[in-house]
Each structure stands twice: as structure tokens, then as C-alpha cells.
A and B are shown apart, each in its own frame.
Chain A
Amino acid sequence: MSAHPAKAQRVGMEVSIAVSHAVQMARAEAIAAYPITPQTHIVEHLSTLVANGELEAEFINVESEHSALSACIGMSAAGARTYTATSAQGLALMHEILFIASGMRFPIVMTVANRALSAPLSIWNDHSDIMAARDIGWIQVFVENGQEAYDHTIMAFKIAEHPEVLLPTIVNLDGFILSHVVEALEFISQEDVDAFLPPYQPKYRLDPKKPVTMGAFAMPEIYTEVKYAHQVALTNSYHHILKVWDEWANLTGRRYRPVETYLTEDAKVLFLTMGSLTEVAEVAVEEMRAQGLPVGLVSLRLWRPFPFDALREAVKDAELLIVCDRALSAGGPGGPVHSEVRNCLYPLESKPATVNYIIGLGGRDVPPEAFHDILARAQKEVESGPSGEFFLYGVRG
């Protein structure tokens, strides 16, 4: 394979391979990874690129995901542009270090090929891995298709490394459903990427000529202030994210927004989805519109920092918002996305009623018909008064 695919030429490629090409074009310098399904194709291809000298980088095959992220922190602290990828149990094994990476403000970029968590063991897609890592202080983006996976991987480096952001960034893509799909993709040239993403200039790094202490412990007198600074940085990263996405739109013509809307004008009922489910929902919504139903679709692209204002703006005129979660907050108020959405809308005087459907767990297929069914059930639910309940969709028996 050539150093990288040619510019603006549509090529058929597996999405995982496209992600590794994005990492290559971003000129990542240091990668540490441990194999876990369905992330493996990404790091397999990256290791091939490194082995062939097509990517000037160091690749460490660590002995666990815990060490993968630990090594990434070391590589980032040394001043290298750092990348890793993981999934499900691997993300869970990293959990402790996820907080440390963001607390110490290392701009590591990570792809999470979303997958269900054990038990029972499931290698298939849902969002229970990343939703269990909701509060880790990383910037988090969800992508809908391969093109977005490529685009957002390159943009993630630029966002993470901005001196006023300095936060690790996760690009979430649905395992198998997206990671293993062959799609037609458009690449931009290496020159364009280089102009868009200059080399990483670390503000602080481990250097004997200018020694610093990183990762010191904090007494109660200072811990809260450090956490506050982290929160402010994460909230403020919103503007930098929009700026980088705008720049990308000028470069490629592909514009991304924190909350995407589809056929929402005059829509009385809105679906809310994340990730690759959005494309299925689009099909369903188109069919419903053809039947004359006032239905629209809202898709949450930016998960952290949470786009409060953009989401309120997108749904305020609807009567009913059906939130489709791909994870279950066991023993809690339903899916984690629904919890956050309801929290976001609560202060508004006029807001849509919300119903929560949890679908597609552990790789269960979600065809467009499911949305038709959910719409009928949700409307019936609302007519009989708001129950505040959530529904695990498609449970047999």
C-alpha cells in the first residue's frame, strides 16, 4: 500500500484501516496498544505502517491496556504525539489511568471501538464501555460513519494539543457495525493535513535541562482548585472544538456540529441517537416523513463537553423526545444519555416530554422498523401520562 491514499479520491476501505491512516497522516509519534476486539484492525495496520517505515513512530506492544495508557502518559510526558486505541474490557482496565491522563492534562488521542461489557461476554457493539467511562474528564466525540471516523481522528489531535485545551480526546466509533465496515472514503492530502495540524509543541515535558515535577499529590487545600481548573478547561474546550471543526469545514467542505439535526423543522416528535445508529434512524425518519408523520432526528456528536445550549435549541419546539440509549444504567433512572438529556432540559420552562428506549445492547440488530415500533409505543406511553420510566426494547419472553 502506498504511504497514504491520494487526495479527494473516493476509495473503498475498511473503517479501522481509515482510522489508522488518519493517525499516520496526523504523524503520531508514539503508540502503545494491546489487542482487543474489535479495535485490533486499527493497531494491526498501524504496526504495519510503522514496520514498513511509512509512519515515523515508535510502537510499544504492551502487556495490558492498563500499561498501554500508562505508557501513553510516559510518551506524552516525554513530549511525543501519542495515540492508542481500545475497546470494552480494555477501556475498563484502563479506567484508573483514564482519570490520571486527563487530570495531568496529557493530549493523548484514543479511538474507542465501542463494545458491550462482560458479563456475559459479548464482543459486539453497544455503548456500555464508554458510558461507564463518562466522567473521566476527556473530550469525547461520537462518529456516525467511516468518513467521520477519519476526519475526527485528525481533528482530535489538533483539539487535544491546543495549549488552552491540553486534554486527552476519545473518538468513539461503534465496534464491528462501523469499525469493520468497508466504506467509500475521501482523504485529504498529507500537505493539507500538515498545514492543518502542525507538529506537537509540548508546553511542559520531562527535560533534565528544565526539570518539573509531574503528578504530585494534593492536600485537601488544593485538590478542589485543581479539579475546578480541569472543569473550566473542559468546558472552555467547546469553543476550540468548534473552531477546529470550522477550519476542517473550510478545508474539506465537511461541517460538523455538536448536535446534528435531520428533518427537525416542524417536527413534533424527535428521536435522539448517537454514533452509527444515527444513519439507521435517518432512514426510519425519512420513511415516517413520507407517511406524513411530523418526526425528526437529533444526533448527539459531542458527548464531552456536553453541548447544553445546542441541545436545548435543537429540541425546544418538539412535544416528545425519544432518547435511544445503547447502554443501561443498572438500577438507575434509565440510560445514561437520557439522564443527561433530561438534566439538560429540566431548567427550561417549555420542553418536550422524554421517553427512554434502550436498544441494541450487546450487538442486537436495530433495523429501521424498530424506530417505527418505538414511535408507536412511545406515543401510547405519553398519552397515558408521563411515566418517567425507561424501556429495554426488544426483550423476549
Chain B
Amino acid sequence: MFTHLITISPLGFLYGSAGAFLTPENLVGLAGTKFPPDASTLAGLIFSALKTGHLEAENLTQDQLREQLFVAGPFWANVSDPHNFYIPVPRHKILGDKDTDQWEIRNYHWWRDETTHPDIEADYHWQRIDTWDYSPDEIKANQAAAKDVWTHVPMLHPSLKSDERHVRDENGLFLENAVQMQPNQWDGGYDETCLVYLSTIALKPGWYRFGGESHLVEISSHELDETSPIVELLQRPIEDSFALIGPGIWGSNHLSLRYPRHSDFSERRPMMLTDRPNPYRYRLGSQSGEYQTGPMRKAGRLSRGRYAVPTGTVYVFKDPLGKSWWDWPEDWFPKEGFPLKHLGCNLSLPVEISRS
């Protein structure tokens, strides 16, 4: 089971794009924005922290770490209260600015009363973990719903010559879509925010370079003991319905699917509330250090490109699983390289769907 929360507070900006680089000819780049970083980015940091002695557990070998490391996320929290972090809202709960609604199952079909809520849109995509079991109205009443707490800011960077402290003659400047964490505003005031990940390995507190463009962040690890409500929630067995709070990666090495084709999972295809897939790819072991771009960049191993079922997706199926995500067998997950279960893929929590 996850034993730690790792919080990441940017010192200044974080990076906003996973790879899609902006050049003088292409100064914008809405298409390339991706934030917050996937759990794999943190896994990469933990592997490099092993080499530099920044893990709290000492004397681990690389192989032991490979076996023991599980990470999941991304989530975020108010700095003052990291244990009560925000996770994706399951899609059957619709939290709008003015109104709320909920999908139910009637006669084996998804149903909601569109006459009373004709125009409702899901404006909030995050909710505090302590309100996981609440109805949409209760979530709003507790001010536990939130929108993204980061904004994209274009930033101009110099690109230096390798042997002089001078900007390169050509393409000496490039623009980056940086990301700024914003305070989380609520009626009583506002709080500074940080990113949160779940992990089985703790990092020593301190400043690290994080993510593809290696901006400085402050990291600390918070222990989760066995009685923590988070651990309790994560251990709760999933019966016949659940929602994804991590990217859903199913399928083979050739194809990405919406649910695993595995007889232990479910004989029948599940009822789902979902959306179009997101591309999912990770890089492990990228070289930190001198900042490089373009083809010069020394990169680590790039995984197979896959497509993920978006977080918040709800699954309802016939046969109860009776197992929490933690106990799901690894052969439900695609197999290749670093096991995807270790990267928090398909991390799910049980949900209650009203049926009639």
C-alpha cells in the first residue's frame, strides 16, 4: 500500500509541455500543453534520487527499487492540508457553477432528468478526497469542488552557446509555455497549492529539478499511516462499479482499449461513462543537468505510445470484483518495460451508482 504523500511546490514556474516545443516559427502551441506531469515523471525523479542518495530508505539497490516503487497521481492540495488532497470527480457527478446533477441507471441505461437540468455543464473537475462519498450537492455545500489551480504563462528563454555565455546567433530565444500554480480560492480566503502524488518510497525533503525542463521544486514526503482515511479509502474493495482517478491504460502492446479483456475482470463489457482517449507516453531515465533542446537533447528511454481512458471515467459491470485496485493482478495491465501498475495506471476508487 502507498505509504507516503509526496508534495511538489514549484519555486517559480513549472514546465507546461511534454515535448511539444515552441520555436521562433511556432511561438504559441495550445496543442502541446500538458499539465500536471504524470506519475511517471515522479518515478523518474525517484530513480535518479537513488543514485544521488536522496531516498529516505537507504541501501536500496536499483532492482529492489524497481520492485518496490509504486507511484500514482497527479493530484493537488492546499499547502496547509496535503492529506486532504483533490482528486478527479467521477463523471456521474456533474458539478456546475450554478447547478449540480447526477447520472443514474434506469432500465440498464444511463439516465438523468434533462428537463430539470437542460444546460448543465461540468465546470468542476476536482474534489477533495474526504468528500468522495458525497452527493454533488454535498460536495458543493462543503466547498470541496475546485477547478484547475494552474495557468499557462508564455515565457521567453534564451538559448546559450555551449562554450560562451552568449545567446546563440540563430534561434537564440524560444518561448515556453510555463505553468504557474495559483492559490486555491474559497469563501474563507485562499491557500497556496502544490502537486501531490502517492508513493511507496519517500524522498528526502529538499529542492529538486523536476520534469522535462528541470525547473526547481521543493519536495517533501508525508507519511500515511495505516489508519489514515486515504489508506482506508484505497483499501476499500471495489464491487461492481468504480471510477478512474489515474489514467486508464488497458489493452495489448498493439492496441489501447477502454477496459481489460480479461475473464476475471468481467465476462460482459461494462457500462461506461467516458470520453475520448488521451495520448499516454512516458520517458524514464532522462538525463538531468545541462538544459538542451531539440535533437541535441539527451533523452532517456521512451515508452510505447498508448492511449489512456480519461480520469473520472465510470465503469459499471455485472460481476463484483471484490478487490481494491491494490489487489488487482498485474496481468490485467498491459505488460512492457516498467510495469504500468507501478505508475498508478487505472488507479480506481469504488463509487455508488443509483439504480432502478
A and B: interacting chains: no
A-to-B contact residues, CB < 8 Å: none
Interface residues of B (CB under 8 A from A): none
